Structure 1
Amino acid sequence: MPPGQAPALLQPFASLQPAPAETPAAPPKARLKRPTTFNEYLRDVGDVVHTGAVRAAASDDNTDFYTVALTQEALRPGTVYADPYGHVLMLVHREPEVDGKPGVFLAVDAEPDGSITRKRFWRGNFLFVHDPALGSSGFKRFRPIVRDRNGPLRRLANAEIAKNPNYGDFSLDPSQMKVEDFYDRMDDVMSPDPLDPVKAMSDAIASLHEQVKTRVTSVENGRKYQEKKPGEIAMPNGPSIFQTTGAWEDYSTPARDFRLLIAIDVVRGFPDRFARRAARYAVPAGKSVESVKGELQGVLTSELASRKITYTRSDGSPWTLSLKDVLDRMTDFEMAYNPNDCAELRWAARDSTDEASTCKRHAPQAQRAKMSSDYRAWFRERHWPTRS
């Protein structure tokens, strides 16, 4: 008897049997909704575009970006910088060296709290390390896409970019440089002629000042958020304090403070750096390297005391700090990134001082315990942790 056919005795009743079930048709695929506003577009790409794509290996041909040579011609506006710890900056302008004053590359950078800032190239903003776990950092450009005759679209390989007269700026050299060599090379690119040592150090101090002023905005954004939503912000565990989602990502400052500590190291060490590369500078006739180094120490002390920033305390009142104050509190900035702390603590105000008298918020003890554990060593040793 064929499958599905009723026996002869039951055939009169066959019409009463339920019809064989048919396989239901697959529902039509939902069509993706095209964004109608720029904000909708940002939400769509935010789930698929991330900074890891920019840190792909420099030798890889199948990537969206390629590593460029460290020359003024290659480092033109639109070039991006892959920070090893997550940020991507884009070059927008180059100011040339003038009368011994250092040249500078200017870039823009977006922060999780929604702010967009202009930053100058220097060691405090553009971090450079070699660590396979972090990918390939450095300057990169979008990889060209071409269509061969009667063929599909494809990316140009690194070797093709190097030979192409319209580009010719691919280079693996930056990915093979030691850290000090990278920054020395960038100094030479920005300022080909010998520098006035005092102007060069003043420029480094100005860069630090700019970086601290940017932090004022970040801490203030966190203070305003806590005024509107006074609940506790959850703190991630381990390396996730540097890169996560939600309010902690938006209003904490561990990555910014990590960079700030490096920037402080750069400024404090500038006189020694001058002595190491004295041939790079225009040492005044009749003066020794050691005497100029001593002058730089004096200028450093004076400028740190004269440059100021002002932040808003918990009661809305302003409080002014000098850069010297910030440097004196350097070790306390190893634990000043928690948005559950008051603004005074985030600026490392000491207990029982007038500055700290307006503080009304403290991070939970459990969070403070984590911050003072091996987390603090990451900042003290300037060693960014990698995820296991």
Structure 2
Amino acid sequence: MPKAWLGALLFLLALGREAQADTLVRIRSEAWTPADERGYGEFIAAIGQSVCRTVDSCLRNPANPFRASDPQGIRFQSDCADLPYVLRFYYAWKRGLPFSYVSDVSPRMRARDIRYSPQGNVVEAHRDVLTGDDALAVLGRLRDEISSATYRIHPSLDGNDLYSPAIAPAAIRPGTVIYDPNGHLAVIWKIETDGRIRYIDAHPDNSLTRGTYDLRFVRSSPGMGAGFKNWRPSRLAGAVRAPDGALVGGRVLIAANNQIADFALTQYFGTGARAEDRDWKSGVFEWNGQAMDYYDYVRARLGGGRLRFDPLREVAEMVASNCADLGYRADAVAASLATGLQNQPQPERLPPNIYGTEGDWETWSTPSRDARLKTAFRHVRDSVQRFLGLWRARDSRLVYAGSDLVGDMARVHAQAAQACSIVYVRSDGTNVGLGYEEARRRLFRMSFDPYQCVERRWGAVAPELDSCRDGRLKRRWYDAEQSLRNQIDRTYDARMDFSLDGLEAGRG
């Protein structure tokens, strides 16, 4: 009996096992069509538009049209690197579409941590998901085999799951992935008419947050593969159609760069001729004869070719976004406290790198989240200064008809800040409310360390701090970690496994 038909027979036998029936993969389409890609984008957009706050609740949310077909008792989990793959596979599973993924990578040159390899990685292994596979087992393997290292691949290389798209409205869309080479991933769910990009992202504690694309997603040398990524077109070849319509067996083939119409390297090298990798910073971004920085270029291209700034609207929305991030942080700290980690002894050393590690520290600490929050607050200040400069220069890109931009921006900033309130529960059970400005003043006092009391997690001082139950040793750790809290830029390639004595000696 041919192997393909043997596989089809085994698949039909598997269908009879009721316990597996809800979780079996059944591929019915040989390839993703443009309609499938639009459907996937709509699926992502609906999740982004909803108010869900964890990956699990998002996939149980009415925004997910497939939720009723999920087996009872399933719990969806994902961190930032897993999220694009979990969502893509989930949609493929429910729609009967081909899916495969890079299951192993290795560094192009020697690297201490493959997630932050200086020259990026190469694909070592690929895994196809075929009819008859158990979807829950696939989700488990994705969590085990996918990391931010999976995305750290030079855009000129073929064989990986994603490609570098053109910076254009049809190419950057809901479902596009954004990779920050500092180890963070996000998925675009909406492009505003003015070109601003909204995204969703996940975290090790399974929370799901929302944000707006800006310079927190840094550019880097091409080998690190930073930036926008789309899923490569894929098709199932060599499969046999079973009597029930499922495609059994075969292998998944993915398109090469030269087979993809909107493949481009503009985001790495600019709009001119491609430079050598080592000269990537020299790339210039021009649109309609005007040179602009990369982030303005992205916004102009996605905003219909026009770059416009409404300073009052943007200041208000940036403050609201920062408030939302403070709320997400409150959720993360509360989840950490629920584990009781703050009651355990302080470890003798910090992890090898506080931003990129594993275990309890990765799940419950907040150094990366806190650094991005500080960057976001700084971005508000820098944007206000920029808007003032454009106004004084009578720049036509500024959409403002008033006569007192300073006063008007201060007014909308104050209104948005006044609407922001964060509440946390002290160690003695009493509530503390923090407004936006108070949280801003505390940014560099807020502890990222999950072994410290909640009061220190929120940068409290006496008398608010009096309810903290940390002993003298933890107080010393908190004081010694101030140099690390002062960092805005995340340094993933630095050794940070300091002892308390080392930090107090100024090595941090």
**Shift of residue 131, structure 1, vs aligned partner:** 4.7
Q: Structure 1 residue aligned with 2:168, among 71, 75, 79?
A: 71
Q: Is the CA contact (8 Å cut-off) linking 1:204 and 1:267 kept in structure 2? A: yes
Return the offset for 1:65.
1.2
Q: Runs of 5+ in structure 2 lacking a partner?
A: 1-131, 239-249, 271-280, 286-291, 496-508
Aligned residue for 1:90, secondary structure, equals strand
TM-score of the superposition, structure 1-length normalised?
A: 0.73
Matched ranges for 1:53-132 at <5 A: 53-94=150-191, 96-97=192-193, 104-117=196-209, 119-123=210-214, 126-131=216-221
Distance in 1 of aligned mates of 2:349 and 2:218:
25
Unpaired segments ≥5 residues, structure 1: 1-33, 162-167
Deviation (angstroms), 1:349: 1.0
**1:242–1:383 distance in 2 versus 1, CA, 3 Å:** closer
Counterpart Cα distance in 2 of 1:279 and 1:79:
31
Q: 1 CA distance for matches of 2:412 and 2:252?
A: 57
Is 1:156–2:255 an aligned residue pair?
A: yes
Change (3 A) 1:143 1:232: farther
Q: Secondary structure at the match of 1:141?
A: strand
Give the distance between the partners of 2:262 and 2:413, measured in 1 at CA. 38
Residue 199 of structure 1 deviates from its aligned partner by: 0.9
Show the counterpart of 2:469: 360
Determine what percentage of the aligned residue pairs are the same residue. Answer: 27
CA contact (8 A) 2:189 2:198 kept: yes
Contact 1:143/1:156, CA 8 A, preserved across alignment: yes
Greater gyration radius: 1
Q: Which runs of 4+ in 1 moved over 6 A?
A: none
Question: In structure 1, which of residues 342, 345, 363 is the aligned counterpart of residue 453 of structure 2?
Answer: 342
The number of aligned residues is: 328
Return the offset for 1:264.
0.7
Q: CA deviation at 1:348?
A: 0.8
The answer for the alignment partner of 2:300 in structure 1 is: 188
Distance 1:121 1:69, change over 3 A: farther
One of 369, 384, 404 as aligned partner of 1:256:
369
The offset of 1:108, in angstroms, is: 2.3
Instruction: Note the alpha carbon deviations across 1:225-278, whole angstroms, 9 max, x for none.
Output: 117x83236476466211211111111000100100100101122211213554
C-alpha spacing 1:160/1:189, structure 2 compared with 1 (3 Å): same
Aligned partner of residue 331 in structure 1, secondary structure: coil
2:380 corresponds to which of 235, 250, 267? 267
Q: Give the RMSD, CA atoms, in angstroms.
A: 3.3
Question: Could you tell me how far 1:61 is from its partner in structure 2?
Answer: 2.3
Q: Do 2:336 and 2:450's aligned partners in 1 also have CA atoms closer than 8 Å? A: yes
**Alignment-mate amino acid for residue 142 of structure 1:** W
Residue 42 of structure 1 is matched in structure 2 by 139
Indicate the SS of the match to 1:332.
coil
| Equivalent pair of 2:188/2:197 in contact (CA under 8 Å) | yes
**1:1-388 equivalence runs, <5 A:** 38=136, 40-94=137-191, 96-97=192-193, 104-117=196-209, 119-123=210-214, 126-131=216-221, 135-145=224-234, 154-161=253-260, 168-176=261-269, 181-189=293-301, 191-192=303-304, 194-226=308-340, 230-232=343-345, 234=347, 237=350, 240-277=353-390, 278-284=395-401, 287=403, 291-333=404-446, 336-350=447-461, 352-353=462-463, 355-361=464-470, 364=474, 367-368=477-478, 371-373=481-483, 375-376=484-485, 379-380=487-488, 382-387=489-494
2:298 and 2:436 map into 1 onto residues whose CA distance is 26
Q: Is the 8 A contact 1:122 1:207 kept in 2?
A: no
Partner-residue secondary structure (3-state), 1:223: helix
Q: Secondary structure at the match of 1:123?
A: coil
Cα displacement (A) at 1:204: 1.3
d(CA) in 2 for partners of 1:369 and 1:197?
39
- CA shift, 1:365, in A, is 5.7
